Structure 1
Amino acid sequence: MSLAPADRRRPAGGKRPADGDGKRPADGAGREGGGPRKGGRRRALRWSAIVLAVLITGTAGAGYLYYEHLNHNIKKDPLNIGDEKYRAAESKANAAGQKPLNILLIGSDARDSAENQKLGGAKDTFNSAPRADVQMLLHVSADRSNMSVVSMPRDTLTDIPKCTDPDTGKTYAAETDVITNDSLGRGGPGCTVATWEKLTGIHIDHFMMVDFAGVVSMADAIGGVPVCVDANIYSHTSSGKGSGLKLRKGTTSVKGKQALQWLRTRYGFEDDTDIARTKAQHQYMNSMVRQLRENATLSSPTKLRGLAETATKAITVDNGLGTVAKLYDLSKELRKVPTERITMTTMPWEYSTTYSGRVVPRPTDAAKLFRLVREDIALDGKDKKKTTTASASASATTSTDPAAADDKIAVQVENGTRTDTTAAVRGRATEVAELLVGKGFKEAVADSSTAPSLATTAVRYPSADLEGDARRVAKALGIPASAVKKSTDVSGVTLVVGADWSTGTKYKAPAQDDTTPTSADALNGSDTTACMHVDPNYVW
């Protein structure tokens, strides 16, 4: 696996099939360096594994030239190279004017250098397209009181939007039902960002990427990370599968190549799936957070300088994080979050019915998890109680797009009242369309076909120039503004009547459930008891 970027020289050569360990090569050359700025503080170096890349500013007394050197170590790529119509709206500020931060962490399996090839595998994979084998969305709340991490399994099938390679200008056509880690080879990390935004509707502010060699060098720089297994493990099969990880039962401090093996292990943990590998990655990252916050040895100027060199050479970031100063500013924000308010989760998933061994987002639970992140709701359930109701938030949220007159707004009404146990309510779209006509929306019409089931009624619109119209329709029916969403699946303002409004003429918004789905498998950052279960077939 790996936790983030690679040098991005784009190789010629095509895709190759994924193997059990997700081995896939990369491309990559670095981008230009940014303008330097003088020092930061040593204490910045005690932050977290997740943001190891930002721990580069504590080299006291290095001076302007040294910081310029570090700046030029950093490789940069555009933030989002996807189709403009799939861009998610920027996060809204809270009452204090603060905005949440969303950072996509990418682990590239690049095999574009001798070192990466040695760590990554087979000779025939050298310099082929890289894959984003680790993808974690890091969400920092607007008030900096909590942090949530959402991992997406590398075997997830999703839709990848059209992406344009910033180096070559090559355009990759949109694809449906493809494995998510293919996104990195379609123009770079900016395509992985675009894929996440299309799926989740979450605006991503930055990305950080690291490759095999980067994981090894950074693990060495911090002196190792404690991890735990409940039995002796050797991840190896007679056919050559497995990461090669070999550990004794209990807790071991891993670093270097062994740390990479831990992060890449699939065969040997639990049921030998990518889901189990994600859990192991969460354990590693939580442990690294604690290690960096507690490790006093990082106060050594020599160790700090080495860590600064390692981190800046290992990462690729978007232009918004492309200097030591910008990374230091980010580190200050991240350090505000207490360890006990960090929550690691996995996107709720279920097995695909069409592609063996692949997974897809679990419809209700995944959508709920993404909504919690979009709405900046803490996944640990420790947020202060909200004082606004759904209807109050509807009036509080405004749009810059003015609505047309009610009788000029074209509305299509769809019937999404079907549930897992009941059929759609016959004629429901027609009933609600007639209700709208009675309220002055003369161009409201019913769609006679049955829409996909929808638990909660929603109003959708395809482009910004129809947002005001969509919000006007919602307000007229008492539907909260949070249910008004931009969607490329509709061609005009579309009201989808959900299972929560199967009868009656007055809509009543259901009570909002803001608890994290149990299927997200949440792990708290301060949990020191986590220990990976070893598949008995891999015990030695």
Structure 2
Amino acid sequence: MPLRPRTVRSRRSRTGRRLIRWSASTLAVLILGTAGAGYLYYQHLSGNLEKGERSSGDSKAERTAPNAAGQTPLNILLIGSDSRSSDANVALGGSRDNRDSPPLGDVQMLIHLSADRKSAAVVTIPRDTRVDIPECKDPETGETFPATNAIINESLGRGGAGCTLATWENLTGVYIDHWMTIDFAGVVSMADAIGGVEVCVKQNVWDRPLPGMKGGSGLKMTQGRKKVQGEQALQWLRTRHAWGSDLLRARAQHMYLNSMIRTLKEQSVFTDGGRLTRLAEAATESLAVSEEIGSPKKLYDLGMQLKTVPTDRITMTTMPNVQDPQDDNHVIPDSADAETMWKMLRDDIPFDKNGEKEKAKKDKGKEKQAVQEPSVPDAEIGVQVYNGTGSSDEAAVPRRARAIAQELVGAGFVRAAADSSGSLAQERTEVSYPSAELKGDAQRVAGALGIPLSSVKRSTEVSGVTLVVGADWREGTAYPEQSAPEAGDVPDTADALNGSDDTPCMEVYAPYRW
């Protein structure tokens, strides 16, 4: 009988094409984040950097409001591209046939640095997650790509990294400040330059071709802990079959990254000029960044913020997900658990419980918007209500817009009306307004239904006060009270790993033991 890995999604192997560049992208961020002493060298490194537009897609995300000290979180999207745009990338990627194909963003991680710069969270979205990709315009060619529903790794080829950023923003509601991308080239030298990272397996592992299962990374290790570098480090990052699934490969990557962070903090690499030079050179030669951080000074400032977070305040996670009912090769967000994580990011709630108990709850259930007086009485406020209760795994609830519009009319908003053009799909309920003078009107409508002020947004896409009843409000006429997550309330389905934990070991899928 043919052997297949334990996975919620079976797919043909794409050996040699994925995740090699992941090592370089994470190393690049770490190097830029700890190389403060080498600021002058960035004058040279800047010539290596490619730059691009921050966002090239249609996104509605807004920045998180500042905390009491006036600080805001920092969000950086890391994208690993499978581009075949050079001979080096083809050689490392393993497929000349795809040289001119649009690049895929197969590795995508969001780094969230808290407003107080004391904690960080990293969230991976699996490459085969089906999402809504917005309309995007390629900043280089001018080509416009229509909105579509597809797997998230296709977003990179539909307008570049800026389109992937917009896709993430629409999915999560999190404003993303910057992006960084990396391709295959330069990764081998990066893996060698780090000098070895400790990993662990519970059984002897050999990720090799088996009857009925092609491919394999070639990783061969005996059980226990061992430092890997160079080719073997790349094999670790590429291994999928031996762990049993792509989702478990993400766990192995997170283990590697946590170990690498600890290694870099423990050794004297950042006082070793020659070694630091090799690391920085290899990173920037294969790195592209959004244009607003495309200078040595801005990268230095960014790095100085990243380097301050202690390892026990770093949490690696994967977006909670379930099998896609439309295609068992794909996944979709696990609505409730994924929304908990997005809310924690939007509200800057730490993923760990290791912080000071100060005001660690950080205003978490408190409103962050000042209440503004409405411009007219309730009876004169026009409100358009849309049914957005559909989602990727559930159909829209019939007549929801009508039910909520009637509730508003009964509350004195007699100009409220339901839109009859059809249902939408929106995860969160929101009240939008087009201009500053209508902010108080929108807040008044939200307050009448119990919708939190944090869900009141300004938008240039609406002509008046607009209420979209989201998938988080599928029944009842009063908005359901949302329990605010606290520090450390990351769902179990996120497979969280703390940066200081050096005990995890990968379980090897039985056919790949030796």
> TM-score band, normalised by the shorter chain?
0.7 to 0.9
What secondary structure, in the 3-state scheme, does the structure 2 residue paired with 1:144 have? Answer: coil
The equivalent of 1:20 in structure 2 is 13
Instruction: Determine the C-alpha separation between the residues in 2 that align with 1:213 and 1:499.
Output: 43
For 1:520, the equivalent position in structure 2 comes to 494
Q: Would the aligned equivalents of 1:459 and 1:470 in 2 still touch at CA under 8 Å?
A: no
**Residue of structure 1 in register with 2:6 after alignment:** none
Does residue 218 of the first structure (1) align with residue 190 of the second (2)?
yes
Give the Cα separation in 2 of the matches to 1:218 and 1:347: 27
1:352–1:358 CA contact under 8 A, matched in 2 = yes
Among 51, 58, 73, the residue aligned to 2:29:
51
Match of 2:219 in 1: 245
User: Please, which moves more after superposition, 229-238 or 527-536?
Assistant: 229-238
- Offset of residue 54 of structure 1: 0.7
CA deviation digits over 1:508-534, x for unaligned, max 9? 734423421111111101010111111
Deviation at 1:232, TM superposition (A): 1.8
Q: Does 1:187 align with 2:159?
A: yes
Contact 1:24 1:125 in 2 (8 A): no
Distance 2:471 2:157 in 1: 38
TM-score by length of 2: 0.83
User: In the alignment, is residue 163 of structure 1 matched against residue 136 of structure 2?
Assistant: yes
Segment drifting more, 438-447 vs 126-135: 438-447
Query: 506, 521, 529: which is aligned to 2:503?
Result: 529
Deviates more, 1:113-122 or 1:198-207: 113-122
Change in CA separation of 1:412 and 1:121 when aligned onto 2, cut-off 3 Å: same
Q: d(CA) in 2 for partners of 1:297 and 1:179?
A: 39
Question: Corresponding residue for 2:233?
Answer: 259
Worse-matched range after superposition: 259-268 or 361-370: 259-268
Show structure 2 runs of 5+ residues with no match. Answer: 1-10, 20-25
Q: Does residue 1:230 correspond to 2:202, yes or no?
A: yes
Q: Residue type matched to 1:525 in 2?
A: G
Alpha-carbon distance between aligned partners in 2 of 1:184 and 1:471, rounded to the nearest angstrom = 37
Conservation of the 8 A alpha-carbon contact between 2:384 and 2:419: yes
Aligned with 1:75 (options 34, 39, 50): 50
Deviation of 1:502 (Å): 5.8
Is the Cα–Cα contact under 8 Å of residues 135 and 144 in structure 2 kept in the other structure?
yes
Aligned length: 486
Return the alpha-carbon distance in structure 1 between the equivalents of residues 451 and 282 of structure 2. 52
1:226 and 1:194, CA in 2 relative to 1: closer, same or farther beyond 3 A?
Answer: same
* Separation of aligned partners in 1, 2:452 and 2:100: 50
Calculate the aligned-residue CA RMSD, in Å: 3.6
Residue number in structure 1 paired with 2:89: 116
Partner of 1:10: none
The TM-score normalised by the length of structure 1 is 0.80
Once residues 414 and 447 of structure 2 are traced to their aligned partners in structure 1, the CA distance between those partners, rounded to angstroms, is 16
What is the CA deviation profile of residues 90-127 of structure 1, one whole-angstrom value per residue up to 9, with x for unaligned ones? 22211101110000011112222222222211232224
Whether the 8 Å CA contact 1:101–1:140 is kept in 2: the answer is: yes
Which amino acid in structure 2 is aligned with residue 461 of structure 1?
S
Correspondence list, 1:379-394, <5 A: 379-382=351-354, 384-386=359-361, 388=363, 390=365, 392-393=366-367
Task: State the secondary structure of the residue aligned to 1:124.
Answer: helix
Corresponding residue for residue 357 of structure 1: 329
Does the C-alpha gap of structure 1 residues 130 and 56 become closer, same or farther in structure 2, counting only changes over 3 Å? farther
Between the aligned partners of 1:313 and 1:374, the Cα distance in structure 2 is 33
Distance, in Å, in 2 between the alignment partners of 1:537 and 1:464 is: 61
What is the CA–CA distance in structure 2 between the aligned matches of 1:529 and 1:333, rounded to whole Å? 28
Tell me the amino acid that sits aligned with residue 303 of structure 2: S
Answering whether residue 104 of structure 2 is matched by residue 131 of structure 1, we say: yes
- SS of corresponding position for 2:240: coil
Equivalent positions of 1:195-214 (< 5 A) are 195-214=167-186
Q: Tell me if 1:106 matches 2:79.
A: yes
Q: Secondary structure at the match of 2:288?
A: strand
Offset, 1:132 = 0.9
The one-letter amino acid paired with 1:386 is: K
Aligned-pair CA distance for 1:500: 7.4
CA distance in 2, matches of 1:105, 1:403: 43
More off after superposition, 325-334 vs 444-453: 444-453
Question: Aligned to 2:117, which of 127, 139, 144?
Answer: 144
AA aligned opposite 2:252: A
Q: Identity of counterpart residues, as a percentage?
A: 47
Residues in 1 aligned to 2:15 and 2:166: alpha-carbon distance in whole angstroms: 21
* Equivalent residue number for residue 509 of structure 1: 481
Residues 446 and 68 of structure 1: is their aligned pair in 2 closer, same or farther, counting only changes over 3 Å? closer
Residue 369 (structure 1) aligned with residue 341 (structure 2) = yes
SS in 2 for 1:212: coil
Moved more, 350-359 or 321-330: 321-330
CA distance in 1, matches of 2:131, 2:143: 22
Contact map agreement 1:211 1:314 (CA 8 A) in 2: yes
Distance, in Å, in 2 between the alignment partners of 1:134 and 1:402 is 46
Task: Specify whether residues 188 and 376 from structure 1 end up closer, same or farther in structure 2 by C-alpha distance, changes over 3 A only.
Answer: same
| Code of the aligned partner of 2:432 | Y
Distance 2:396 2:281 in 1: 61
CA contact (8 A) 1:24 1:129 kept: no
2:315 pairs, out of 318, 327, 343, with 343
Q: 1:424 to 1:312 in 2, by over 3 A?
A: closer
Greater alpha carbon shift after TM alignment, 526-535 vs 185-194: 185-194
Amino acid at match of 2:32: V
Q: Which residue matches 1:40?
A: none
Change in Cα spacing, 1:364 to 1:404, as seen in structure 2 (3 Å) is farther
> Aligned with 2:216: secondary structure?
coil
Q: For residues 170-194 of structure 1, give each alpha carbon's deviation from its aligned partner in whole angstroms, at most 9, with x where no partner exists.
A: 2222211x11111112232111111
Partners of 2:167 and 2:259 lie apart in 1 by 29
**CA offsets, 1:16-63, max 9 Å, x none?**
xx853476599xxxxxxxxxxxxxxxxxxxxx8472341584566x96
1:484 matches 2:444: no
Kept in 1, the 8 Å contact 2:133–2:155? The answer is yes
Which consecutive residues of structure 1, in runs of 5 or more, have no partner in the other structure? 1-17, 27-47
Q: Distance in 1 between matches of 2:269 and 2:479?
A: 60
Post-superposition offset of 1:398: 3.4
Q: Secondary structure at the match of 2:328?
A: coil
